[in-house]
Amino acid sequence: MLIVARDTRCVFGRCDGAIEEVHHRLPRGMGGAGRDETRWSYSRLVGLCAVHHRWVELNRRRAYELGLLVRHGRAACSLVPVLHHGRWVLLDDGGCVLPCEAPAGWSE
């Protein structure tokens, strides 16, 4: 699977955990994305260990700040920076990881 080849391990911070789950950055919502043919686009997906996938679901506000979640209707996932292995990147739909600047107003 390209996600495992691209991400190699959990993308959360400096976690060395294996990818156990593929996380959708764009939440599927209530009945909305089930038929969305782009739901498996590579820019929408990141590999996480089970612990950090659970963290994303429990800390949604912070996950949006880290680019691990993307709000519906705001921008395409390929245009939203994500903190990926401790560095800011853009993920494209071809499976590439492109370094970028931190989002405006970012603070750790």
pLDDT of amino acid 35:
63
Does the residue 104 lie in any domain?
no
CA distances from 81 to 25, 32, 36, 50, 60 (A): 11, 24, 22, 22, 16
Please determine, for residue 29, whether its predicted confidence score (pLDDT) is greater than 70: no
DSSP 7: H
Please determine, for residue 26, whether its predicted confidence score (pLDDT) is greater than 70: yes
Does the residue 54 lie in any domain?
yes
pLDDT of amino acid 5:
95
Does the residue 88 lie in any domain?
yes
Please determine, for residue 36, whether its predicted confidence score (pLDDT) is greater than 70: no
pTM attached to this predicted model: 0.89
Provide the residue range defining the domain that includes 88: 2-99
Q: How many angstroms separate the CA atoms of 104 and 88, rounded?
A: 12
Please determine, for residue 11, whether its predicted confidence score (pLDDT) is greater than 50: yes
Distance between start and end Cα atoms, the chain? 32
> Region 27-51: what's the mean pLDDT?
79
CA distances from 78 to 25, 71, 74, 86 (A): 10, 13, 12, 18
Is 52:12 a contact under the CB 8 Å cutoff? yes
Q: What is the pLDDT of residues 51-94, one digit of tens each?
A: 999 999 999 999 999 999 999 888 899 999 999 999 999 999 99
> Region 96-106: what's the mean pLDDT?
92
What is the count of structural domains for the chain? 1
Does the residue 105 lie in any domain?
no
